[in-house]
Amino acid sequence: MHNPLCKPWEHAISRRQWLGASAASGALAMSGLEGLVSPALADELAASNKQVLFVWIDGGMSQYESWDPKPNTEFGGPFRQISTSLPGVQISELMPRTAKVMHHLSLVRNMCTQDNSHSAGVPRIQRGDPKNRGVTYPFFGSAVAKLMGAGASGLPPYVSIKPGSGGFFYQDAGFLGPKYGALAFGDGKPPENLLRPATITEEDDQARNALRITLNKRYAERHRRDNADAHGAVYDMAAALMKRQDLFDATKLSPQDVARYGSHEFGRHMLLARNMLEAGVRFVKVTSYGWDTHGDNFLGHQSLMPRFDQAYSAIIEDLAQRGMLDRVLVIAMSEFGRTPKINGHIGRDHWPESWSLALAGSGIKKGAVIGKTNNLGTSVEGDAFDIGHMFHTWFAALGIDSTKIEYDNHGQPLPIAHEGCSVVKDLLI
């Protein structure tokens, strides 16, 4: 049994030892691939250059005003549908730029999920709703960070770009442990105090970090590792970002790119996401708020959709032109859709029964339109897919076999996706 108290001689470590200890720490701390039931696959996943852009449309984008319009029907609303670069496929007229890149995308129009509240729907959708195992499952970003690691870039594996404040969102990681949480850049800005003070030399900084690593290791030997690991991971993330502060330098952005993406908040954040992906970040999440249109749904979407349309189509174009779309999985979705019926406030309420999402990129077939709703859009016709089907499909698109790879939760094997769902093969190449 370990004595929780340190002995004086345990701290006898030279400056050279500190520096030596830091040299081997970075890759191990950021890899995150320990703790898999099938560790033989870890190297292959870590070496993969596949990435994810997860566009989270918080509050619930209306499928009627986006991917599945029903003009001239009882519930269709005032907007028309327009043709796209994919023959025979129409989307809302509020998305003219996206219509031009539709040949790069695939649509899923038969989503049918369970929760019609934000408090239940948001975590359920982003965790894939696995069977209840008595543990809190990770968000998709944390799952990818755990299963695939940081990759060759050494940058944080899971970053979030969002309006408002930033920070480290350890809750996303669930039972995987806090070090697999999201490093959030509030308003697209880097963490505060990222610069090393001028009074501290690089050698002093290395020595200081080496001491921290050594003490963290000794602490972890006597206590639960999760918090110590998370503490160390955050320092490693900061060290990696210190070397890439250019990612946040708006003066290096071309005026043409800013104009194409839009000078609005969502455009700025999506342009930063593109730069993060180019730098090699494994998983980039971009959040857009304000989509909960219980009142004035049509005016709300008339304002929101052009911003989404501009920035989303721009990043699809850029990833395609740069040869990145084949390895970057792009997911655009909300926690549910919006009701067919217009309420008394000229709004649409929450509707998980029949809604849509869009996919593109790594492993995804171009131009597929999966499923359909009835003529009024009130229900799915034929097969319907829950979020568990999407998790299996996304993992497969990234080269992860969700039927063979499991988590190891302190000796408890756990599936990485819902066992009652399966891959949507028609979406995959």
β-pairing, 406-409 vs 412-415, is antiparallel
Domain membership flag for residue 14: no
Residue 24 covered by a domain = no
Is 252 part of any domain? yes
Q: Which residues of the chain have pLDDT under 50?
A: 1-32, 37
Residues sharing a CB contact under 8 Å with residue 292, sequence separation 6 or more, in sequence order: 59, 60, 118
Q: How many structural domains compose the chain?
A: 1
* Cβ 336 vs Cβ 121: under 8 Å: yes
pLDDT reported for residue 36? 57
Side-chain-side CA neighbours of 373 within 13 Å: the count stands at 26
In a domain, 23, yes or no: no
**Would you say 380 and 353 are in contact if contact means Cβ atoms under 8 Å apart?**
yes
289 belongs to a structural domain: yes
In a domain, 8, yes or no: no
Residue 26 lies in a domain: no
What pLDDT was estimated at residue 309? Answer: 98
Among residues 290, 345, 308, which one has the least CA distance to residue 92? 308
Classify residue 22: in a domain, yes or no: no
At 222 the pLDDT is: 76
Looking at residue 312, its pLDDT comes to: 98
> What is the CA 330 to chain-centroid distance, rounded?
9
Q: Are 184 and 206 spatial neighbours (Cβ–Cβ below 8 Å)? A: no
List 108's β-bridge partners, or say none: 357, 370
Distance CA 343, CA 230 (A): 46
Q: What pLDDT does 241 receive?
A: 79
* Domain assignment of residue 231, given as a range: 38-427
Residue 9 pLDDT:
38
The residue assigned the tokens 């696959």 is 41
**Beta strand pairing status for 182-186 and 167-169?**
antiparallel
How far apart, in whole angstroms, are the C-alpha atoms of residue 150 and residue 281? 7
Measured distance CA(390)–CA(112) in Å, rounded = 11
> pLDDT value at position 130?
81
Domain harbouring 333, CATH code: 3.40.720
What pLDDT sits at residue 196? 65
DSSP SS3 for 217: helix
- DSSP code for 248: G
